[in-house]
Amino acid sequence: MLVYNFLRYLLYIAIFFVSFFNKKLSRFIKKRLFQNIENKNFSSKDVILVHMSSVGEFNLSKELIEELLRKGERVLISVMTDTGYNAVKKAYDSNENVEIIYFPLDDLFVIKRIFEKFNVKKVIIIETEIWPNLYYFAQKKSQLYIVNGRLTEKKMKSYLKMKFLVKKVLNSAKRIMVQSKEDKGRYLRLGINENKIKVYKNLKYSIKYEKISEEKKEKYYRNCVNRDKKIIVCGSTRPGEEKIWLEVFSAINKNDEYQLVIVPRHLERVQEIEDEIKRLFSENDYELFSKIQNFELEGNIDSEDILKRKTDKNEKKIFEKKKIVLVDKMGVLRDFYQLADYVFVGGTLVNIGGHSILEPLYYNKVPIIGKYYQNIEEIVNEARKMNYVKIVENEDDIIESIKSEEILDTSKFFEKNNELEKIVKELYCD
């Protein structure tokens, strides 16, 4: 620990020098090392410190935090990033049982001050972040738990180079709850006490995704989604996948019974996808979502009446739904998943490795994916056991998957895999 902290303070000299000329770095350091801990609530009261890196870890741990609050706990949340801090603040700013701080970059004196200011009875680390000073005080002053721990082969190899330190730090935890048997094996190779390690499924299964209101659904139906057609939503698409789906759409939509919504993973590719659409369709067949959503109905006119009544040419053009909607806005994919009849999750027809299939599953959609799902293999394998995913390799497979329409209640999938209750029980097992 002495060597670790000595090296840190040598590094501080360089960082503070650079931050003198870099305002962004200066703000970053000031927020974390010079925040006013003394003005926080909970003085001399028992708290549980939950540490996470970013907004992703917060989304994972939100139901865990809610469970702790239901048990009457006071929760001190430590976050590394600005986006994570803002997400936590938005969710809990008015909750008197939650306090939020920036993680002080494992600074020895600030960490010590936190444990002096708050009576921390448990420390929960979301996933695996190794911070020796935090772990030291957590072991000395409270009980340390790692929840949703994971360790990639690449990360483990780097840890093996400093095995003595990593082994000592991680063994200070009372319990390490990891996501898989493979993760457990990697921890064991680092020399972690096997009795400390438990395997519980990913916290992702406990996430409760937001559902859109009927009013918001109506707005989509009014402006761009055709309720009289079967809606195909291709989410998080990557280069090459739009071409495949556009060709499939051209083949199956001879009777104009489908509508295609494309939501690319990266918005800078919108022009490239537009060019691909124009190769098979006319410019009148598609519209950008940003242009559609800017149109708002005036007054409180019932949209159903408007759609049914006879209109003049200009009005008809306004309400005409396009065959293809190309989404050029962030943050609306989950909305479209809820409006879809069929969902494709991208990064799977090309060798990317896949993006999350949990959102469509949560909204009772059976996701269609390609054969490249190595990044989400664990979740896909669980979904396959219950026939809650369709794996395709070519256009014929895709067409067949759309023809075999199914409506399933996928809530059983989450009930089967949600082990949050077991994780919370471990936190209270003396």
Q: How far, in Å, are 191, 365, 397 from residue 369 at the CA level?
A: 38, 12, 11
User: pLDDT by residue for the chain (430 residues), tens digit each?
Assistant: 788 888 888 998 999 889 889 999 999 999 999 998 877 777 667 999 999 999 999 999 999 999 999 999 999 999 999 999 999 999 999 999 999 999 999 999 999 999 999 999 999 999 988 999 999 999 999 999 999 999 988 889 999 999 998 999 999 999 999 999 999 999 999 999 999 999 999 999 999 999 999 999 999 999 999 999 999 999 999 999 999 999 999 999 999 999 999 999 999 999 999 999 999 999 999 999 998 865 553 334 444 444 444 344 444 444 578 999 999 999 999 999 999 999 999 999 999 999 999 999 999 999 999 999 999 999 999 999 999 999 999 999 999 999 876 667 889 999 999 999 999 999 998 7
Q: Residue 424: count other Cβ atoms within 10 Å of its Cβ.
A: 17
Enter the pTM of the model. 0.84
What residue ranges define each of the domains in the chain, with the CATH number in brackets?
32-208+422-427 (3.40.50.11720), 214-293+314-414 (3.40.50.2000)
Residue type, 55: V
